[in-house]
Structures are given as C-alpha cells and as structure tokens.
Amino acid sequence: MDEIELQNKKINILFVDDEQNILDGIKRLLRDKKDKWNLEFFTDAELAKEKIFESNYDIVVSDVKMPGINGLQLLEKVKLHLNEKSPEFIMITGVNDKELKHCALNLDATDLLNKPIQREDLLARLNNAIRLKSFKDEICTQNIMLEQQLIQSQKMEVIGLMTSGVAHDFNNILTVISNYNQLLEMLGQDNPAIKARTEKIQTASGHGQKIIQQILNFVKKKDTTFEKVSLNGLIAESVDLLKITLSKKIDINYSLPEDSLFIMADYTQVFQIIMNLCLNAAKAMNNDGRINISLLNNQIEPDLSTAKSWTLLEVSDNGPGMDEEFMKRIINNMSSIKRSQEGTGLGLSIVQKIIKNHSGSLIISSNPGNGTTFKIFFPLHQN
C-alpha cells in the first residue's frame, strides 16, 4: 500500500495500553515504519492524556480497559478538549466487546482494532486514519485561508471606499487649481514668462486628474466586462501609475511593439495583474532594482499547441528570484503562499485566476539570485 503523508511531515502516533507486552508486540509489528512514523508508547493512560493535550498527535491507538482513566473516557475528554485539532482515535477491543465497540464509535472513534492485533489489520487501519486526518487537516487549512481572504477582501472594500472619497476630493481641488490657472493665463496673456508657467501648471494638473481617473476606474469597477483592449495602452497607463506608486529607486521600463496588440479582456483585471506582479517584484527587491515590462506579438504558447496567435506580456525583475521548490508551489497550488510576514499571499493566486479567466497561460522562470520573469500569454484578438 502507498505511504500516506501529512503535509510532508512525519506522522505522530501515540499508543496507550496498560499491558506492556501488547505495546511491545505493536512495536515489533511496526519496526519498519520508524523512518516515516514517530511512534510513542504509554502504559499510563493519565500520562498519555497529558501528552495528547500538550503535543500534536495525528493518531492515538488506545486500549479500552485500563486502570484510572479508561480508553472511552480518554477518547471523550480529548475530543471535547481539542475539537477539530483532535487526533484520530483507534480503539483496541476484544472481538466480542460489542457494547464497547458501539460506545467507542458513538464517541467519534475513527476505527476499531481487534485483539490479538494482526500486522495487516493494524497497518490498514492506521493508513485509513492517516488518510482521514490528512483530509481533515486540509479542510482546516482551507477554512483558515478562506477566512483570511474574507477579511482581506472586506479590507479592500474599505480601502476602495476611502480611496474613491479621497480621489474625488483631490479631483475637485485640481479642478479649482486648473480653473484659477486658466484665469491667470488670460490675465497674463501678453506676458510670455507667465504664459510658460501657467502652461506647466496646466500640464501638471491635467496629469494629476488623469491619475485620479485611473485610480477611480480601478477602484469602482466590480463586474467583469470583456472588451477589446489595447495592451500597449494598458501597459503604458499602468507604468504611469506604478512610477508614482513605487519607490524612486525602482527603475521601471517598458518596450512595446509599434502596432498596438489587442486582446479581449477585462481592462481592470489585466491592469491588476501588472500591478500585482510589479508590487511583488518591488517588494522582493527591497524597493531597489529594475523592472522591465515587454510586449511581443505572435508568440507560440509552448503548452498549448493550438494554431492561435498569442501575445506575450513579460514582467521581469533583477531581484532575488525564487528556487524551484517555491515556484512549484506557486504554480501547482492556487492557494495562498508567502514567505514574508506582510501581505496575504493572495496576489499570485489572483493573477493565476485572472489569466485563466482570459484563456491565457502563465510561465514563471526564476533562479535564486538571478531575478524572476513572468510570461503571460493571451490569445491575440484578430481584427
């Protein structure tokens, strides 16, 4: 039978039976499992209970009839105390202990093991319990993650509201500046020195208004709407916004093909991809390094051998990179993963989801010390 693993860690199993010779027998039966399983044996049920409460066992195999606290009481106390973190319980009973068996199962024991204990029987039941425990642990992790995501998205909603409020006020302020500036321009019509300055003010406030509009568009939009989007325009616009968002020590550049490349996309979501990737790169580089965005036409997507034409959007940095193990986790695992304490570890899984929604695909290439490149393929929109 295949070995089952619990999130790549050694499996911890506690055995408790007041008869030392039973424990010795089990020890002998499981001699060849010592590398994969961490086995601990107790003859004192009270002591075993304490160990279960303070440690993190995956499985407990317990006799029923023991002096002091018996197996059923032990099971009941542990389930009550540890809830969903409780280990799986396998109760050792005699073949004919029908009453005890019913009691154990009613108290949420995972399985029963008949005396005398046979190796095949023991292994099968332990493997089943490990499988169940692994499944429950996974669900527990998923729940924690979903909870974090919920909190995060609620926070984003608040930030969105605040941002649009602030952006709205700034927009009004800029309108006032712009109006007075136009007045000044009229008053100073014959003065070239004033004219040159008012033109500068006009350009700067126009630029400010454009940025505010971009922020408002980004924050406001909720529903996905696919339209024909020029990636050239989108990249230029996101870099505009990134230049004011990122540290001045980040050198961010882009190169675009002469003719605009179009895709069918939700503008805001693709914008979000670029934002996420660049913010990640900046964070990984400690706000000091280079980011390049490039757009290429007619690339072949290696994984999909369709005749479609693809555009290739590449975001690369010269930061610390990632090792293969870490990248595999990012690619295979849509769930949250992060190394830093900041952030929620959601950015890349959202990026992957958006790419998938756009029938695109993603290739990450990276080496520790040699930077990271994200290659995103989108189906080209043919005119």
Ligand X SMILES: Nc1ncnc2c1ncn2[C@@H]1O[C@H](COP(=O)(O)OP(=O)(O)OP(=O)(O)O)[C@@H](O)[C@H]1O
Candidate segments 19-27, 98-106, 225-233, 317-325, binder of ligand X by CB under 6 A:
317-325
In order, the DSSP letters of 228-284 are EEEHHHHHHHHHHHHHHHS-TTEEEEEE--SS--EEEE-HHHHHHHHHHHHHHHHHH
Q: Please, which residue, 58 or 317, has the CB nearer to ligand X?
A: 317
What x/- string results for residues 270 through 309 when contact with Mg ion is judged by CB under 5 A? Answer: ----------x-----------------------------
Q: Please, which residue, 87 or 371, has the CB nearer to ligand X?
A: 371
Does 347 participate in binding Mg ion (rule CB under 5 A)? yes
Does 372 participate in binding Mg ion (rule CB under 5 A)? no
What x/- string results for residues 250 through 279 when contact with ligand X is judged by CB under 6 A? Answer: --------------------------x---
Instruction: Tell me 380's DSSP state.
Output: P
Residue 87's binding partner among Mg ion, ligand X, none (Cβ under 5 to 8 angstroms by kind) is: none
Contact predicate 291/376, CB 8 Å: no
Q: Please, which residue, 191 or 286, has the CB nearer to ligand X?
A: 286
Q: Please, which residue, 7 or 340, has the CB nearer to ligand X?
A: 340
Packing angle between helix 267-284 and helix 192-220, nearest 10 degrees? 100
Residue 340: CB minimum distance to Mg ion, A:
9
Other Cβ atoms within 10 Å of 195 Cβ, number: 14
Of residues 104, 246, 346, 376, which one binds ligand X by CB under 6 A? 346
Q: What is the Cα–Cα distance from 40 to 33, expressed in whole angstroms?
A: 12
Does 320 participate in binding ligand X (rule CB under 6 A)? yes
CA 213 to chain centre: 30
In degrees rounded to 5, what are phi and psi of residue 50? -60, -45
Q: How far is CA 109 from CA 86, 132, 169, 248, 287, in A?
A: 11, 12, 62, 61, 53
Residue 379's binding partner among Mg ion, ligand X, none (Cβ under 5 to 8 angstroms by kind) is: none
Tell me which residues touch Mg ion (CB under 5 A).
280, 347
